[in-house]
A and B are shown apart, each in its own frame.
Chain A
Amino acid sequence: MKTYTNTGNKDTRSGFGAGLTELGKTNENVVALCADLTGSLKMDEFKANHPERFFQVGIAEANMMGIAAGMTIGGKIPFTGTFANFSTGRVYDQIRQSIAYSHKNVKICASHAGVTLGEDGATHQILEDLGLMKMLPGMTVINTCDFNQTKAATLAIAKHHGPVYLRFGRPKVPNFTPEDQTFEIGKALKLIEGSDVTIVATGHLVWEALEAAKALNEEGISAEVINIHTIKPLDDQAILDSVAKTGCIVTAEEHNYLGGLGESVSRVLAKHKPTPQEFVATNDTFGESGTPAQLMDKYGLNSEAIQNAAKTVLQRK
C-alpha cells in the first residue's frame, strides 16, 4: 500500500500566503483585498511587496466583495481574504449578484473554515460554506488539504477565468503532497489504490483518510483513498470508476453533511450507480470552543470516525 510522509506540520493558510506572494511577483494583474485580517490570512508579504496592489477595506466584507467585482472591470484579478464565515454567509447576496451572476473573475479566499478554527467557537466556525458556494451557478469550489496543495491551488485559480471559492484553514496539519505539484481544477487525485471500500475526502480530512486506510489495511481491509479538492465541478468519473471496483463509499469532510461534498457524491451515485455511502461530516450542528483536536474528536471528524464508517458501509454492500 502506498504511504505518505508528513514533511512537517504547516497551516494551509500559509500555503495560500505563499501562493499569493508568488503570484504578486509573476502576475501584475493580481490584486489582494483584505477585511482587517491580513496577518491571519498570511497576506503580509504580498502587502509588503506590492503596497499599491493591496487594498485594506477594513471590517466591511460586503463592500470588499463589491469592490473586488468592480476591480475585474479593467482586467484585474482580485483575491479577497477573510475568514470563511465572513467570506460566504455574511456576504452571500453580494457574491450572488455582483460576482456570480455578473460572472466576475474574483477569487474568494477563505481561511479558518470549519471547527478547526478552534477556541473562537461557533460564531466563527462555518460548516455550511461549501453548500452555500456550490449552489451558486458558475462558482468553482475548492477545499485544499495541506500547505503544498493550497499553494498550488492559489496559483492555479489565477489562471482560471471566473469566480472561485478557495477554502482552507487555521491549524498546522501534516504537509504531505508534493511541493512541485501541478494543481488541476476539477481533477480528483487517487492517493491510495484499494479494492474493498472507497474513501473520498477533502480538506483536513484527507490526511485522516490516509491514516484510516493504513489502520484498515492492518485489519485486512483494502481502502482506496481519493482526494477531492474540487467540490465543484466534481470529478464524477473518478468517483464512479472507484465504486465500480469497491461497491461502497465513505465521504469525509469538515462540513455539515447537508450541502457538503457527501451530498454532491450522493447525487452522482444516485444518478449513475446507486451505492451504499456513509458520511463523515458534522451532523447538522454548530461547533463550539475547544482545541482543533478535541473538536475533530468530538464531532467525529478523524481517522477513527472514517474507519468506523468504512466498516459500517462494508456491511451494507
Chain B
Amino acid sequence: MPNIQQLEALTTQVRRDILRMVHKVNSGHPGGSLGCAEFFVSLYSEIMETNDGFDMDGKGEDLFFLSNGHISPVYYSVLARSGYFPVDELNTFRLINSRLQGHPTTHEGLPGVRIASGSLGQGMSVAIGAAETKKLNKDKHLVYSLHGDGELQEGQNWEAIMYAAGNKVDNLIATIDLNGQQIDGSTDTVLPMGNLKAKFEAFGWTVVEIEQGNDIASILEGMSEAKSLSGKGKPVCVLLKTVMGNGVDFMMHTHAWHGKAPNDKQLEIGLAQNSETLGDY
C-alpha cells in the first residue's frame, strides 16, 4: 500500500514548485497545474510502471502524454522530482536557453517528454498512435494521457475518440481534467459540452469517474479501477473532477489564475499555505 502521507508531502512540495516557477518569470499557468498536482504525483509515484532513465521509445514501460501542455509547471515539477532531470533545473522554466520551455517539447531533449504539446487537441491522437505501436510490439504496458475539459472543444479529439473505440485501443487510459474552467470563463459559459460521461460512452468508451480528483486515495482507487478495465476491448476514459488552483485558497474555484502568475505578496501567501516538505529547488 502506498503511503498517502508521503504522496501528500510530495504534492505540497510540487505546489510550491509551481508557484515559485511561474512567479519567477511572471508567466505560466498555475491554475490547472495546481488542480492536477495530486493526479501527477499519483501517476508517477504509484500508477505507472516506468523504467529507470529515459528512452524515447519507451518499450517495456507505461507511457504518459500531456495534451494540455500549458500545465507544464506541474509536469516539470513531477518529472524532476521523479528523477528525470535535476530538480535545480526548475529554476530555468521559461528562460532563454532552457529545456523547460513554456509548453513541453522534445526539441531541447528534456527527459520524460515524448511529444510537443501546447496547441490543443493533439495529444489523444498521439497517445493512440503510441498505444497502437505497443500492440504491434506485443508490449503489454499501458499508455496514459491527460486532457483539459475545455480542450475537448477541439474537434480532433472527437476524431480520436471515435477511432480509439472503433479500433479497440484498449491499452489507453485517457484522463480528462474536469475543472469546469477555461480562459474566458467557465466551460458552461464558453461552450457547454453537455454530459461528457454520456458522450464518451456513446462513442464506445468505458468511463470511470473520480469525484474527488484532488484526493490522492480517490485518485489511486479510480486509476486502479481504470487499469483493471483496460485490455477488455474498449478504451478507458477517466473523468477527474478537480478544483482549479487547488491548495492555494485565493486561486481556487475561478478561471482567473488559468494563465496568470502571483505577485510577490500572493506568492508569500500561497507558500505559507503550503509549507516546505521535501526541500525547495
Name the contact of A74 in the complex, choosing from B105, B119, B133, B160 (C-beta under 8 A). B133
Q: Does B163 contact A31, Cβ atoms closer than 8 Å?
A: no
Q: Of the listed stretches B29-37, B56-64, B83-91, name the one at the interface; the rest are far from the partner chain.
A: B56-64
User: In the complex, what's the smallest C-beta–C-beta distance from A139 to chain B, in angstroms?
Assistant: 14
Asked if A291 is at the interface (CB within 8 A of a chain B CB), the reply is no
Q: Does B162 contact A60, Cβ atoms closer than 8 Å?
A: yes
Name the contact of B125 in the complex, choosing from A70, A76, A104 (C-beta under 8 A). A70
User: In the complex, what's the smallest C-beta–C-beta distance from A27 to chain B, in angstroms?
Assistant: 13
Tell me whether A74 and B139 are in contact in the complex, defined as CB-CB below 8 angstroms, given that A63-B159, A97-B117 are known contacts: yes
Most chain A CB within 10 A, of B114, B124, B129, B137, is at B129
Q: Of the listed stretches A50-58, A140-148, A281-289, name the one at the interface; the rest are far from the partner chain.
A: A50-58
Asked if B70 is at the interface (CB within 8 A of a chain A CB), the reply is no
Q: Does A101 contact B129, Cβ atoms closer than 8 Å?
A: no
Q: Does B136 contact A69, Cβ atoms closer than 8 Å?
A: no
Q: Does A97 contact B118, Cβ atoms closer than 8 Å?
A: yes
Asked if B115 is at the interface (CB within 8 A of a chain A CB), the reply is yes
Asked if A264 is at the interface (CB within 8 A of a chain B CB), the reply is no
Point out the residues of chain B lying under 8 angstroms from A97, CB to CB.
116-119, 122
Q: Does A63 contact B156, Cβ atoms closer than 8 Å?
A: yes
Asked if B127 is at the interface (CB within 8 A of a chain A CB), the reply is yes
1/0 per residue B107-126: CB within 8 Å of A?
Answer: 10000001111110011111
1/0 per residue A99-111: CB within 8 Å of B?
Answer: 0011110000000
Point out the residues of chain A lying under 8 angstroms from B58, CB to CB.
73-74
Q: Does A70 contact B57, Cβ atoms closer than 8 Å?
A: no
1/0 per residue A52-86: CB within 8 Å of B?
Answer: 11010110101111111111111110100000000
Q: Does B137 contact A74, Cβ atoms closer than 8 Å?
A: yes
Point out the residues of chain A lying under 8 angstroms from B59, CB to CB.
74-75
Point out the residues of chain A lying under 8 angstroms from B134, CB to CB.
74
Q: Cα distance A60–B123 when bound, in Å?
A: 15
| B124 to chain A: closest residue by CB | A66
Q: Cα distance A60–B124 when bound, in Å?
A: 13
Q: Cα distance A98–B123 when bound, in Å?
A: 8
Asked if A193 is at the interface (CB within 8 A of a chain B CB), the reply is no
Point out the residues of chain B lying under 8 angstroms from A58, CB to CB.
159, 162-163, 166
User: In the complex, what's the smallest C-beta–C-beta distance from B222 to chain A, in angstroms?
Assistant: 24
Q: Does B136 contact A53, Cβ atoms closer than 8 Å?
A: yes
Q: Does B136 contact A57, Cβ atoms closer than 8 Å?
A: no
Asked if A177 is at the interface (CB within 8 A of a chain B CB), the reply is no
Point out the residues of chain B lying under 8 angstroms from A94, CB to CB.
122, 125, 156
Q: Cα distance A71–B156 when bound, in Å?
A: 17
What does DSSP make chain A's interface, helix, strand, loop or mixed?
helix
Name the contact of A63 in the complex, choosing from B63, B107, B139, B163 (C-beta under 8 A). B163
Tell me whether A75 and B125 are in contact in the complex, defined as CB-CB below 8 angstroms, given that A57-B163, A60-B162, A101-B107 are known contacts: no
Most chain A CB within 10 A, of B105, B115, B117, B139, is at B115
User: In the complex, what's the smallest C-beta–C-beta distance from B127 to chain A, in angstroms?
Assistant: 6
Asked if A93 is at the interface (CB within 8 A of a chain B CB), the reply is yes
User: In the complex, what's the smallest C-beta–C-beta distance from A30 to chain B, in angstroms?
Assistant: 11
Q: Does B132 contact A71, Cβ atoms closer than 8 Å?
A: yes
User: In the complex, what's the smallest C-beta–C-beta distance from A7 to chain B, in angstroms?
Assistant: 38
Q: Does A63 contact B125, Cβ atoms closer than 8 Å?
A: yes
Q: Cα distance A60–B105 when bound, in Å?
A: 25
Q: Cα distance A31–B132 when bound, in Å?
A: 11
| B161 to chain A: closest residue by CB | A63
Point out the residues of chain B lying under 8 angstroms from A65, CB to CB.
125
Asked if B130 is at the interface (CB within 8 A of a chain A CB), the reply is yes
| A67 to chain B: closest residue by CB | B129
Q: Cα distance A103–B136 when bound, in Å?
A: 22
Q: Does A98 contact B133, Cβ atoms closer than 8 Å?
A: no
Point out the residues of chain B lying under 8 angstroms from A78, CB to CB.
129
Within 8 A of A (CB), among B239-264: none
User: In the complex, what's the smallest C-beta–C-beta distance from B170 to chain A, in angstroms?
Assistant: 16
Within 8 A of B (CB), among A124-155: none
Q: Does B162 contact A31, Cβ atoms closer than 8 Å?
A: no
Name the contact of B132 in the complex, choosing from A67, A75, A102, A104 (C-beta under 8 A). A67
User: In the complex, what's the smallest C-beta–C-beta distance from A113 to chain B, in angstroms?
Assistant: 24
| A75 to chain B: closest residue by CB | B57
Q: Cα distance A71–B139 when bound, in Å?
A: 13
| B169 to chain A: closest residue by CB | A67
| A35 to chain B: closest residue by CB | B159
Point out the residues of chain B lying under 8 angstroms from A53, CB to CB.
136
Q: Does B107 contact A103, Cβ atoms closer than 8 Å?
A: yes
Asked if B128 is at the interface (CB within 8 A of a chain A CB), the reply is yes
Q: A residues bordering B, Cβ < 8 Å?
A: 31, 52-53, 55, 57-58, 60, 62-76, 78, 93-94, 96-98, 101-104
Q: B residues bordering A, Cβ < 8 Å?
A: 56-59, 63, 65, 105-107, 114-119, 122-134, 136-137, 139, 155-156, 159-160, 162-163, 166-167
A62-B156, A63-B128 given; name 14 further pairs at CB < 8 Å: A31-B136, A57-B159, A57-B163, A60-B163, A66-B123, A68-B129, A70-B65, A70-B132, A70-B133, A73-B56, A73-B114, A78-B129, A93-B119, A94-B125
27 sample A-B contacts, Cβ–Cβ < 8 Å, listed by A number: A55-B132, A55-B167, A57-B163, A58-B159, A58-B162, A58-B166, A63-B159, A63-B163, A66-B122, A66-B124, A66-B125, A67-B126, A67-B160, A68-B129, A69-B125, A70-B125, A70-B127, A72-B133, A73-B57, A74-B58, A74-B133, A75-B137, A93-B122, A97-B117, A97-B119, A98-B126, A102-B106
